[in-house]
Every structure is written in C-alpha cells, then in structure tokens.
Structure 1
Amino acid sequence: MDWPVSVALAQPVPELPTGTDWSYEMKLDGHRMIMWRTSDGVRLQARSGRDVTAAWGDLALAGHHLPARTVLDGEAVITTEDGRISFEAAQVRAASSPTRAQRPAQYIAFDALQLPSGDARPRPYSERRAALLSLLAGLPANTPIQAVSATTDRDTALTWYNTLHHQGIEGIVAKRTTSPYRAGRTGAWLKIRHADTIDATVAGFTGTAHQPRALAVRLPDERIALSQRLTTALATRIALRLVPQSGRAHTQDGDAYTPVSGEVVVEVVAGTTRHAVVTVVRLR
C-alpha cells in the first residue's frame, strides 16, 4: 500500500438505514487519521494526505505496539477533564509544537486497511471489523488505541445519537457489512450527524495570505460564496495552505477575493448556504 492512502467517506443522509446488513458506529468529533505501522516505525496521515506524526507523538509511540505492515483508519480525539471529547482541543493539538505540553490523545480505530497478511481493503467490513478487534486485543492494557463502539442494533445506535451528543459523539456512521473499503463516497458508508456540514473547496480569500479574513468557497451547486469572518486560530492554520494567484476574482454576488491555486478543502456549515452565508468549521 502506497503513502498516502485515500480514505473512505460517509455520505450524509437524513436517517439511518434499516436492514440486517448494516453496522452502526459512533462518529466522534476529532481528527481523521490513518496510522501506518511500517517495518521501522510509525507514521500518521491526515485525511488530506499530510504527515502529522510530529503533532501526535504519543499516538505514534503507542502505534509501535502494532505488528509491522499494519494500517488503520480512525479518529484522533482528546477529552477534557470532564470526559467530553473536544474538537477544539484536537485543533489546538494539531496546530501546536511537538515540544509543548499537551493533553494526551486517544486513537479510536474504526477500520483495518492493511494487516501483516496483506491488503484488507477488498475484504467485507464484517471481516475487517473482526480482524481489527483481534488485532487491538493484543495491545497493552493501557494503550490509547481503542476500537470505536459499534452495534448491529439500529435502536441502540439511535439511543447513542440522541443521548451522547454532549459527550462529543457528533453522529452515527452506518456501514454495510458486506462492503469492501473504497475511497471516496460510495454509499456503503452513510452518516447522520447533529451538525449539518459539507466539504467545500477554497477558491480564494479576503485579507492577506498570512492572515485571511474570510474564505471564498465553492459550494456543491458550483456557486462561490464568501464565508463569515474566520477565527484567529483557524485563519492561522488555513494560511499555511494558501497559494495566492495574481489578480482578483469575484463571487456571483460581486464580492472581490484573491484567488488561490491548489486544492484546499474546508468543512462549512451547510444549513445557511442557500443564502450565501457560510461558516467555516475546520480545515480538512
């Protein structure tokens, strides 16, 4: 398997599917991460393909207990003192210096892409899940690497969805038990979530490249709209990925922005986009 690997994505749906061939997993509010246990170490990959090993050194260290040639898909999460999973804390960790004192992280694995025996992606989800549980059972008792909670009972999944939001459970992902692992959105993974968000490509920005004030994003209907003002922390992280082009461009509403090259993807609140009001939630 070649680095970086493209990840599977869940398709948003209004309600969970029914049937005997679905398994339901908790969707945690953290950072998507691929854990690579190579023959000589551990590398951590963000959803975008970036190497983020330095920022998550405690997880990389824990990954050394995995057998060589193992590749896992999961979510890096950080919990607050009251036990709540905090996306904000994960964002701070991702942007911080490796030498800075940090809250410990956990890696919640939800799929096995490669096992020591070879590529696991063509195998059905039910087999990959069983292999994942077997693999993690062999880790030390105090490991921060854990399997995501899953159930084949839809009512249980809905109970999780309705009662655990305040603990950082942002939704439920339904996975067809017979499906292989395929990159992108295929319909084999479906999700319901409390925050209705979508991914959007950054077309440009206002302000300066070092401190963007707002982003011009391309929405699913191909319309380009300006976001609301970015927070200082989010603007700092996004600035590192922006490659400005010369000249100026305009949205359909006539707002001017500086165009960018390359592909930068952000998550935006989708509920108000038909009114051209976009709130950027996070950098993908």
Structure 2
Amino acid sequence: MTLRPPVEPMLAQAAEVMPPVRPLASGAAYELKYDGYRALVFTPAGPGGRVLLQTRRGALVQSAFPDLVAAAGAQLPHDLVLDGELLVWDSEAGALSFEGLQRRAAARARSASALAAKLPAHFVAFDVLQLDGRELLHLPYVERRARLEALFTDHALTAPWTLCPMTTDPAKAREWLDSWTDVSGVEGIVVKPQTSPYMPGHRGAWTKVRRRDTTEAIIGATTGTLTRPQLLILGRHDQDGRLRTVGRTVPLRTEAARLVAEHLAAAGPGHPWEGVTFAATWGSRDVLDVRLVRPDLVAEISADRAVDRGGVWRHPLRFKRLRLDVSVQDVPRFGEGSAAAAG
C-alpha cells in the first residue's frame, strides 16, 4: 500500500515544560520546532508524475511553491513521502519570514515564480512516511529517523532540503529551548518517544514545548465589562508614540479578572483605538466586542516566540499580573519583541 494525499499528519500536544524523562522509559528524541507551515511532500511513483505538496489540513499547494517542486524533482527519489515544516527565507531581511510564507502560500501560479525569487521556500524534514514505495508508518520513530538520515546522506540532499536537528540528550534539548529559540523562526522543541509509530491524525504521543518569555504590554481594551473583564487587548507604543496593538490574552481567571477590574477606567475621548476592530483570533474575520479603557495600566504577560510584523504576537498571551510599579513609558516599544521592561 502506498500513501497518497490527503494524509493526516501526526500531531503534538502542547505542554508548558519538557516532560520528565522517567515516564519515557524507551527514551525520547528531541527535535527543534520551527515556526512555519506543516506540510507533506509526495514525489511521484515514476517519471512523468507530479510532485504534490499537502498542508496540514489536506490542501494541495504545490502550484504556489514551484521552486520546491523543481527541487523535489531534481533531488528527491521517486515514491517518497516526507513530513516536515515549510519555511520561507526573506533575502532582504536575512531571516526566516512567516509573513513571507503567508504571501507564498496565497500566491497564484502566475505570481508564484516571481515571489519564489524573492522569498525562496525551504523544507525542514523531520519524518519519512514512505520510502521506495514502501509505507513506513508502523515502524518506530527511531527506525524512521535512521531511514531519514540515510536518505539525506545517500542522496547528498542540500537546500532547500534540511534535516531537522535531533538529539536524545535532555540536557542538550533544554539548551536548545533556552538558546536556539533566540533565532528567528525557531519557537521550541518537540519531544517524541523513540518507540512510537506514526499515527495519522493522532495527538498525544508527541509533546511540543514552546519557549515563553515574560514581558510587559499596555492594557488598551477589554472584552466583557469593566467590572468583569474577560480578555485583555494589549498594545505598545511605536517610535512615533502611537499605541499599536500587539495581541490579546487568553480568558482571565476569576481572581485575575477581579484584580484587573479594580484598576480599569473607561476611556475618554481621543483613545488611539477609536474605530478600530479586533479579530477574535489570529487570521479570523470574526470581530471582538471590546470596551476601550484608559491606556495607563501595564500588564505582565507570558508570550511565545511567534511574532508578526516585528511586534504582533500570533498566539494568545497569558496574563500574569498587573505591574503597578511600572509606567507605560517603561514598556518595550512596538517591535522590540519579548524584551522585558527594565525594573
């Protein structure tokens, strides 16, 4: 039996910290987690067939990535299925670009080649699901990984193909989580039991741990009411002094909501966000019903490394506490990422 799209990728459950080694008696593998699009690459069974590129949700997007398709035809063997992360390199910025990846994914065939020259695609492979026409899902991770490494060696694969870094040393994995996540496009690690088979659509055997940093932002609006806020809409001032939206929190717990409510005040005329709408979630067209508040309260938050446009977090933030000892002038400027405020 050979695999053909759509194939549901195996998923990872989120965790705050690395799981302890003891329950994973068979040993664990630790891989870098990249901030891109999950994708599967299918090469044809023989000459004349088409290379297919499938997203996590099953859509075929190979027409938007002609550079990757050409590289697959030139470097990859037939009847192969790779699982990995699709990334885009911004040559002008000299860094991985999630916004560039979005532009590439949305491109039509006519503009895809031009975009590919400016924003070349790369594929970080972390699993092989089929090799030489043989489906490998039943094999344990450690054997699939050995075949993946041999594939890169035997075919001398080079860019745009990258073998995902992996270690079995928990101490090295913690070092990666602390230091490698400073690199743009790297957001954490994925922990995988070495004995686990590949289970399409299954979530639970793998664990993803994103690096989270503590930082500050200004409360500019809330959902709910001023006496019972639910979500906080947060901002930071840019270099021109404008309050720019940077993200929203997850729902506040009852005790935190009560504490915040004690210090909130309704916004007066001239609030910088008058007339602004806020999406319910990143990429959503649903709009939040918000109440503008006086932007003079600072919240300490926990944020991951997925940041767009230099200063907007894609994932919800976690409220930790109010910083009544910090003024809005002490909050990092828009575009300063997760740098913590002084004091």
Report how far residue 164 of structure 1 moved: 2.1
Report how far residue 140 of structure 1 moved: 4.5
Report how far residue 61 of structure 1 moved: 1.2
Aligned residues: 217
Q: Is the 8 A contact 1:11 1:185 kept in 2?
A: no
1:157 maps to what in 2?
173
Deviations 1:195-214 (A, max 9, x none): 69xxxxxxxxxxxxxxxxxx
Report how far residue 178 of structure 1 moved: 0.1
Deviations 1:34-93 (A, max 9, x none): 000112131000111000101111111111222211101001112334653222221121
1:261 maps to what in 2?
none
The amino acid that maps onto 1:78 is V
Aligned residues: CA RMSD = 3.0
1:202 maps to what in 2?
none
How do 1:129-278 residues align onto structure 2 when only pairs under 5 Å count? 129-140=145-156, 142-167=158-183, 168-194=185-211, 229-230=278-279, 268-269=315-316, 271=318
Provide the TM-score with structure 2 as the length reference: 0.57
Runs of 5+ unmatched residues, structure 1: 197-218, 220-227, 243-250, 254-266, 273-284
Runs of 5+ unmatched residues, structure 2: 214-250, 252-276, 290-313, 320-343
The amino acid that maps onto 2:115 is A
2:13 maps to what in 1?
11
The one of 55, 66, 76 equivalent to 1:46 is 55
The reply to whether residue 84 of structure 1 matches residue 95 of structure 2 is: yes
2:112 maps to what in 1?
98
Report how far residue 175 of structure 1 moved: 0.5
Report how far residue 156 of structure 1 moved: 0.9
Q: Is the 8 A contact 1:71 1:114 kept in 2?
A: yes
The amino acid that maps onto 2:11 is L
SS at match of 1:269: coil
Runs of 4+ deviating beyond 6 Å: none
The one of 60, 70, 73 equivalent to 2:83 is 73
The amino acid that maps onto 1:101 is L
Distance of aligned partners of 1:83 and 1:161 in 2 relative to their CA distance in 1, 3 Å threshold:
farther
SS at match of 1:25: strand
Distance of aligned partners of 1:58 and 1:195 in 2 relative to their CA distance in 1, 3 Å threshold:
farther
Structure showing greater Rg: 2
